[in-house]
A and B are shown apart, each in its own frame.
Chain A
Amino acid sequence: MMHLPIMPILVPLIAAIACMAAGSLAMQRRLSFAAALAMFPVAIFLLASAASDNILVYVLGSWPAPFGIILVADRLSALMVTLSTLLAALVLCDAAGGGTDAGGRHFHALFQFQIAGINGAFLTGDLFNLFVFFEILLLASYGLLAHGHGREKARASLAYVVLNLSASVLFLIAVALLYGTLGTLNLADMARAFGRIPAGSEALAGTAVTLLFIVFALKAALLPLCLWLPRVYSAASAPVAALFAIMTKVGIYCILRMSTTLFTEAPAAAGSVSAWLMPLAIGTVVIGAIGVLASGRLAMIIANLVVVSTGVLLVAIATGTVEATAAGLYYLPHTTLATAAFFLLAAWIGRQRGEVGDALVAGPALPEAAATGTLYLILAVTVSGMPPFSGFIGKLMVLQSIRDTAAGPWAWVAILASGLVAMLVLARTASLFFWEPRAEAGTPIVARSAWQGTAILLLVLAGPLLAAAASPLADYALATARQLHAGAAYGAAVFGAEAGSEFRRPQ
C-alpha cells in the first residue's frame, strides 16, 4: 500500500522489459495482458485513496522534498491513471484481436513503455521528471507510429518526431530558465518560489512559463500547433491512434496542473499565458470543425474531432472557475474513450469495405450493417454531443459553466457550431457507408475476432455508461476541481506536516 503511487509506472515498465525478453508473440501478449489487468486493482486503490481527499506522496529514495524526486497522487492524477488503465486494456484487446501487434516484433514492449510514460507524466511532482516521462512516452509513440509499413506512416512519423524533438528542446530551455530563476524544479516548491522571484528575474521566469506553455500546447494540439495532429493520427494504425487519444490529454493535464497547482500562490506569474488561452481554445474548436468538413477519410474526421475536443477542454480550463474545471474533468474521460472507440470502429469498417477502406466514397455493402451501424450511431451521437449520451452532458456542463464569462458567447457559438458540423458530417458519412453501397461490389469476408468485437463494444458503451453514471462522476470531478483550485493541500502534502522548507541554493 505504501508503494501504491509508483505501481502505475513499475507495472508497465516491468512488463515492457519482460516483453522484450519474451520470444514469441503469444508470450508477449500474455505478459502484456497480465500487466494491463494488474493495473486495474492499482488504479482502483489509487482512486479509492484519492476519493477521500487524501494526497499520496511517494518520496523516491527517501530524499525529502524538494531535494529528491517525488510522485504525487491526488484526485486528478488518480482519475487520469484510471482512464489510461481502462483505455490501455481495451486497446490491447483490439490490437491483439485484430493482429496489429503482429506487424513488428516489439509492439507490446513499446505499448507498455508508452503506458509507463503516460502514467509517470500524470503522477510526477517534479518538472524535470515530467520531461523524462514525456521522452519515454514520446519515444514509445515514435515506435508505435512507425509500427508496420507504409509510405504515409513514414512521412507522418518523420514530421512527428522532428516536431516533438524541437518541443523537447523548448522544454529543456524552460526547465533551465526556471531552475536558474527559482532554484527548484519540484512543482510544489516552484509554486512557493513563484511568490518570491528575485528582482530582475521576472522576465526570465515569464519567458520560461510561456515556453513551457508552448510545449504543452503542442502536445495538447492547441490552435497554431494543432496542424500536425490529423495527419499523424490518421496515418497511425487504429489501436495506436486510439491509444494516442490519451496523449493529447497528457498535454491538457499539464496545462491544467500548471494553471492550478503551479500558480496557486502567484497567479500573476501565469499572466501572459492565461490571457491567450481562451481565444486560442476557441480558435482550436473552429479550426477542428473546419478540418472535420475538409476530411476525406473517417479516420481523418475523428482526428479533427480530437482537435475540437482539445479546444472544448481548454475553453473549460481557460475559464478558470471551479465549475468550469469540473465540467472539463467530466468531459475529458468521455472524449478520450469516445474518440478511441471511433478510431477502432473506423478501422473495423475500413477493413470490411476492402480496398476503399474508410475513404468517404461509395463502396461495397457492409456485412452486418445493422450491428456496425448501431455502434456507429451511438458513437456519432456521443461524439457530436447530442442527447442522451455523455457528450451531451459534458458539453452542457462546459457551456453552463462559461455562460457568464466575457468570452462565453464566442465559446458558445464555436462549440455549438462544431457540434452541428460534426453531426452533419457523421450523418453524411453514415449514409455513404450504410445506405448507398454500390450493389455490384463483392462483399469481402473478414475474419471476425471476438476480442476485437468486445473491445469496440465496451469502448462504444462507455458513452451511455458515462451518461448513466453522470451524477457520481460529476461529483468526483467537482471535488477534484475544488482540490486543484484550493492548491494548498498539494504543497502541504508534499512538504509533510512541517512548515515549508526554506532552503535556497547559495547564489
Chain B
Amino acid sequence: MEIVIAIAIGLLVATGLYLILREQTFSVILGLTLLSYAVNLLIFASGRLAVDAPPLALDQSLRQSDPLPQALVLTAIVISFGMTAYLAALALRAMGDVGSDRIDGNEEDRP
C-alpha cells in the first residue's frame, strides 16, 4: 500500500516538475495540476494509510482513520482547482495581450 502511494506521488512530482520547466504555458499549467495531485496524495498519506477504516467514530471497536487530512485535502483540492482555472484564463489573456504562448512572454526565438 505505502509503496504504491509513494511511487504514484513520485511519478506525479517527476512529471509535474518536467512539465513546469517547459516553455509553453499549457505545459506549465498541466505540470502545476499534476504537482497539486501529488501534494493531495501526500497530505492524504500524512494521516497514515489504513484500509477499511472509516474516518468516523461510529463504533469504538472498529479501526478509524484520521479525518483531519481528508478535510485538509478537500480544501487543498478546491483551492488548486480555482487557481488552475484562473491560471488558464490568465494564460489565454496573455496570449491575446502578448501574442505568444511562451511562459516568459518573449517572442519565439528558437533557431
- Tell me if B8 is interfacial: C-beta within 8 Å of chain A: no
> Nearest residue in A to B35 (C-beta to C-beta)?
A169
Q: Interface residues of B, CB < 8 Å — how many?
A: 34
B-contact bits for A117-151, CB 8 A (1 contact / 0 none): 00000000000100010010001001000100111
Contacts of B68 in A (CB 8 A): 179
CB-based nearest B residue for A145: B90
Give every chain A residue within 8 A of B14 (Cβ-Cβ): none
Q: Which among A49-57, A157-165, A250-258 touches the partner chain?
A: A157-165
Point out the residue from A132, A150, A159, A176 that lies within 8 Å of B79, measured CB to CB.
A132
Q: Which of A128, A132, A151, A162 has the most CB of B within 10 A?
A: A162
* Chain A neighbourhood of B97, CB < 8 A: 149-151, 153-154
**Is A474 positioned at the interface, with any CB of B under 8 Å from its CB?**
no
Q: How far is the CA of A158 from the CA of B66 in the complex (A)?
A: 38
A3 within 8 A of B: no
Residue of A whose beta carbon sits closest to that of B48: A507
Q: Are A177 and B90 in contact (CB under 8 A)?
A: no
CB pair B20 A162 closer than 8 Å? yes
Shortest B21–chain A CB gap in Å is 11
> In the complex, what residues of B have CB within 8 A of residue A165's CB?
32, 83, 87
- Docked complex Cα distance between A169 and B91 (Å): 19
Give the shortest distance, in Å, between B33 (CB) and chain A (any CB): 10
* Given A155-B104, A179-B68, A162-B39 contact (CB < 8 Å): no
A175 touches B (CB below 8 Å)? yes
Q: Which residues of A contact B (CB under 8 A)?
A: 128, 132, 135, 139, 142, 146, 149-151, 153-155, 157-159, 161-162, 165-166, 168-169, 172-173, 175-177, 179-180, 505, 507
Given contacts A154-B90, A159-B103, A177-B46, 20 further A-B contacts (CB under 8 A): A135-B83, A154-B93, A154-B98, A155-B94, A155-B104, A157-B94, A158-B103, A162-B28, A162-B103, A165-B32, A166-B35, A172-B36, A172-B39, A175-B72, A176-B39, A176-B45, A179-B46, A179-B69, A180-B45, A180-B46
